[in-house]
Amino acid sequence: MTTQSPILVDNKPGYRVITLNRPDKLNAFNDAMHEALRKAIEDAEADESCRALMLTGAGRAFCAGQDLSDRLVKPGEKPAPRNSLEQYYNPLIRKIRDLPFPVIATVNGVAAGAGANIALACDIVIASLKATFVQSFARIGLVPDSGGTWFLPRLAGDARARGLTLLAQDLTAEKAANWGLIWRAVDDEILMHEATRICEHFAQAPTQGLALIKRALNASANNTLDAQLDLERDLQRAAHQTPDYVEGVRAFMEKRKPNFTGRKT
């Protein structure tokens, strides 16, 4: 019997596609999938030619969060203390936010529990109109994790964050887009085409500048306007030193398409 890999990696020119691959479990996370995903992301980060990352799911789901079959407690026993947030989910969310290139969640189907919040942590979220986002935690007595209690109030506002997390109802991709939680909801038939176009765009974009934009946006949630203005000044100075800035201005003046390399020097 062959064991299927919990993560599939497809190296495309200028970007990588990582597919969560436990379709029978709606791509729920077990330790092996966490380890494989961590390695795949580290490999992408170490590859200088990788300028964007797509995260998607195999089969009919994006990801159903933690594999609950690993969490079943026998009658009369107490649940074992779990370290999975510290060990896996929190480093994953931090890594997605900190990667020096855009991360695109291509949400092909249901995204539940940590699966929903991993998608929301990505820079661009494009979803099939068939997809739903489910803060399912309260259905089983848990607290939203993987940044859900941070992202949701900021993306959707406090009232919607409370409704979504406390009622734990399904949110359609269409409503998620209307509420500003995600970038776009599109017909299922064109999802991969549209997501690929985004990745191909990023594969030829001024990557160093995009990394600086990510840093600015990541910091803005906790900064005063004064602090953010100072940060923008510093990041703009760094952007001015990139070859892609020089190329961008030159191409504009020469009325041609820029040829961005994404390189640091």
Show Cβ contacts of residue 243 under 8 Å, excluding neighbours closer than 6 positions: 261, 263, 265
Residue closer to ligand T3D by CB (options 64, 120) is 64
Residue closer to ligand T3D by CB (options 28, 191) is 28
Minimum Å distance from CB 194 to ligand T3D?
Answer: 23
Phi, psi for 17 (deg, rounded to 5): -115, 120
Residue closer to ligand T3D by CB (options 12, 175) is 175
Q: From CA 123, how far away is CA 129, in angstroms rounded?
A: 19
Are 101 and 53 in contact by the 8 Å Cβ rule? The answer is yes
Are 131 and 173 in contact by the 8 Å Cβ rule? The answer is yes
Minimum Å distance from CB 75 to ligand T3D?
Answer: 19
The three-state secondary structure class of 126 is strand
Minimum Å distance from CB 128 to ligand T3D?
Answer: 14
Q: From CA 14, how far away is CA 44, in angstroms rounded?
A: 10
The DSSP-derived string for 132-168 is EEE-GGGGGT----TTHHHHHHHHH-HHHHHHHHHH-
Minimum Å distance from CB 221 to ligand T3D?
Answer: 22
Sign of the torsion formed by the C-alpha atoms of 253, 255, 258 and 259: negative
Q: Using CB under 6 A as the criterion, which residues of the chain lie in contact with ligand T3D when the complex forms?
A: 25-26, 28, 64-69, 71, 82, 84, 110, 112-114, 134, 136-137, 140, 142, 145
Residue closer to ligand T3D by CB (options 84, 196) is 84
Closest CA to 62 of 168, 199, 180, 185: 185
Minimum Å distance from CB 7 to ligand T3D?
Answer: 17
Minimum Å distance from CB 161 to ligand T3D?
Answer: 17
Residue closer to ligand T3D by CB (options 17, 93) is 93
CA atoms within a 13 Å half-sphere pointing along the CA-CB vector of 78: 3
Q: From CA 245, how far away is CA 240, in angstroms rounded?
A: 6
Residue closer to ligand T3D by CB (options 25, 51) is 25
In this chain, which residue has its C-beta nearest to ligand T3D?
A: 65
β-bridge mates for residue 160, sequence order: none
Are 262 and 201 in contact by the 8 Å Cβ rule? The answer is no
Residue closer to ligand T3D by CB (options 31, 234) is 31
Minimum Å distance from CB 57 to ligand T3D?
Answer: 11
